[in-house]
Chain A
Amino acid sequence: KQEVTQIPAALSVPEGENLVLNCSFTDSAIYNLQWFRQDPGKGLTSLLLIQSSQREQTSGRLNASLDKSSGRSTLYIAASQPGDSATYLCAVKGTGNQFYFGTGTSLTVIP
């Protein structure tokens, strides 16, 4: 069974810093990997989707990379802002059409 781990579980940074969130998975046979953001009590907002054949995706200040062979993905956030404060989740789509979620990284950006 696929296991997805996110490190760190919580992160607090001053505004303006660049930061990296990590996601690792145990089974490299994936279709894609998706990063989400979740605000308290809300649903999940998709940030970036990386297909298994891709190495990275970018959207604005966000950049996600994928290394299937090592079972790792990173989400890079440039010039962090207080509005970036949220929980960030990565999820991998593997065989069996199931989506496996990590436990999330809770990010706080201090003004």
Chain B
Amino acid sequence: KAGVTQTPRYLIKTRGQQVTLSCSPISGHRSVSWYQQTPGQGLQFLFEYFSETQRNKGNFPGRFSGRQFSNSRSEMNVSTLELGDSALYLCASGGTHYGYTFGSGTRLTVV
């Protein structure tokens, strides 16, 4: 079966702009989690969605938001981009029993 699909793979944005990233989970998975990975902070949890509801949220400012659609696809939005938002954004689908499968990530560069 198809894996977790993240689009786009690469993005370059200017400080102050906003960006939307997309994640399509494995078919049948209802949980989607988002992570930010930077060299200095490692992997940090952003939020998790399950059946269109945000189930858990990490410690990120309100500029970071997300949503999940009825087909389980999820989007993550970052508004008013800052240089420090440059990172690899990873999406994972799965669950407690079967573990998580990650996508290839979206590399965001803010200039």
Contacts and interface: CB of A to CB of B under 8 A. Distances in A.
Interface of A: 31-32, 34, 36, 41-46, 49, 51, 89, 91, 93, 96-101, 103-104
Given A96-B56, A97-B55, A97-B56, A32 B42 contact: no
A106 to B, nearest CB: 12
Task: Give the secondary structure class of B's interface.
Answer: strand
Interface residues of B, number: 26
Given A89-B43, A97-B55, 15 more contacts: A32-B97, A32-B99, A34-B100, A36-B102, A42-B105, A43-B90, A45-B102, A46-B99, A49-B98, A49-B99, A97-B31, A98-B45, A98-B48, A99-B45, A99-B92
A96 B99 CA distance: 15
Given A34-B99, A41-B88, A43-B105, A97 B42 contact: no
A31 B56 contact: no
A49 B99 CA distance: 6
Contacts of B104: 42-43
B8 to A, nearest CB: 14
Contacts of B6: 43
A80 to B, nearest CB: 24
